Amino acid sequence: MTKFHEWRGLSRIAPPTVVQLMATDPKQAYRTVLRALLYSQEQIDQSRRRDIMNCITESAWALDGRPYYRVWPKILDVLLRLDLETIRGSMIKALPYSIAIHLPDTGAGIKYHGAHVESIFVSPYRHFESQKSVFIEAKVAEQAIEAGSPHIVVPGDAGYVPGITVQIDAVKGPKNDRYFEKSFCSLQDAPIENALQRIAVKGLRIPVECVRDCVRLYCTICMIDNKECNLVDRIDKEAKAHKLEKATEDELLEAIADMSRGFDIGAGIEVMPHVRRPHFGIRWCETGKQTPRIVPIRGSIIHKDKIEEVPTGRVLVTS
């Protein structure tokens, strides 16, 4: 069964009680985080201003039902072939709201230098020069949170620039050290590759090749004509009862995902029957699953039931 990473977002910096609120009362959770950032006694520096803007965009995303896309392993490589040197920003009909993109936790994915991207968060770009303009926008966001309705970014809004903000959540190494990168990509009437070359000189912690793949994936999703290819399916989820008082961080993220508007990209491609060869795999063993062990894994037929559905021309006689 394919598993997917969830977008962590503000849960990375929020205290555990607020993370629990994100699963039970998102309005109260984002109101708490936004007010804590706005009215802190510390001086507002560039890092805190970034956290305020992240809270504004993520709260609007939460009020909009947390739309996200799960990209399945078999289709991911195809979605990463878009030539950004020939595609101009004006050709991309960017979504007017924020989305999260969940990547599979299997071998397929966006990787670089021993690290891999778990999830991506893309939102319409807003640019605010002064501290006052950030406070004004935060107040608008606070009112939207109180009203329970997201603010959709459209041309003409304060700080609007044709472009997207791409936030990347990645992990690296045996201890899963977490890296978080935020980049702006212009969608002006010029090749998208030009915009990516401009951010390449800013000393990113995540290489520009990785940012390029994340932007390429988002642009491809925006260009999918689902009427023609039928790649995107709505995820129908059953309501689950979670005991959130003693839940782990992963369980809280799962509970948050259960309340979200999810879409699968390429899930149908995964049902093709195939033979999995015998191989060795790492399994975490002993108490707390702290010790890695290499164990042999038998070969098997995946989706064997699909083979039985193929018509053979013979009549099955049952007694």
Contacts of 67 (CB under 8 A, 6+ apart): 61, 97, 98, 99, 100, 260, 261, 262, 263
Instruction: Report how many domains make up the chain.
Output: 2
pLDDT exceeds 90 at position 101: yes
Rounded mean pLDDT of 7-11? 77
Asked whether residue 171 falls in the same domain as residue 301, the answer is no
Higher pLDDT, 218 or 56: 218
Query: 1 lies in a domain?
Result: no
Note whether residue 52 is domain-resident: yes
**281 in the same domain as 248:** no
Residue 81: CA atoms inside 13 Å, Cβ hemisphere, count? 5
| Domain assignment of residue 291, given as a range | 274-308
- Please report whether residue 133 resides in a domain: yes
Residue 252 lies in a domain: yes
Shared domain for 216 and 287, answered yes or no, is no
Query: What average pLDDT does this structure show over 198-203?
Result: 61
pLDDT of residue 218: 92
Alpha helices in 90-186 (DSSP H): 131-147
- Predicted pLDDT of residue 235: 79
182-199 residue pLDDT tens: 888 888 888 888 888 776
Same domain, 250 and 304: no
Q: How far apart are CA 92 and CA 89, in angstroms?
A: 6
Which whole-number Å values give the CA distances from 137 to 15, 69, 152, 282, 303, in the listed order? 24, 28, 13, 48, 51
pTM, to two decimals: 0.74
Q: Which pLDDT band, with edges at 50, 70 and 90, does 239 fall under?
A: very low
* One domain for residues 280 and 230: no
In a shared domain, residues 303 and 232: no
Q: Please say if the pLDDT value at position 118 is more than 80.
A: yes
Q: How confident is the model at residue 121 (pLDDT cuts 50, 70, 90)?
A: very high
Q: Does 54 reside within a domain?
A: yes
Amino acid at 10: L
Same-domain check for residues 163 and 298: no
- For residues 150 and 285, state if they share a domain: no
For 124, the enclosing helix (H) or strand (E) is: strand 115-126
My answer on whether 181 and 67 are in the same domain is: yes
Give mean pLDDT, residues 77-92. Answer: 87
Whole-angstrom Cα distance, residue 150 to residue 145? 7
Residues 254, 281, single domain; the answer is: no
Going from the C-alpha of 212 to that of each of 70, 101, 192, 224, the distances in angstroms are 19, 15, 9, 18
Of 274, 279, 272, residue with least CA distance to 75: 272
Q: Does the structure show a pLDDT above 70 at 268?
A: yes
User: Looking at residues 56-81, what average pLDDT do you find?
Assistant: 86
116 or 101, which is more confident?
101
> Is residue 235 situated within a structural domain?
yes
Mean pLDDT computed over 200-204: 57
Same domain, 249 and 281: no
The pLDDT-based confidence of 262 (bands split at 50, 70, 90) is confident
What integer is the mean pLDDT of 37-50? Answer: 69
**Domain-embedded: residue 319:** no
- Give residue 173's pLDDT: 66
Which of 9-23 are b and which e, b meaning 16 or more Cβ less than 10 Å from the residue's Cβ?
A: bbbeebeeebbbbbb
Tell me if 2 is assigned to some domain.
no
Q: What is the mean pLDDT of residues 10-36?
A: 77
For residue 124, list its beta bridge partners.
Answer: 164
Residue 153 sits in the same domain as residue 256: yes
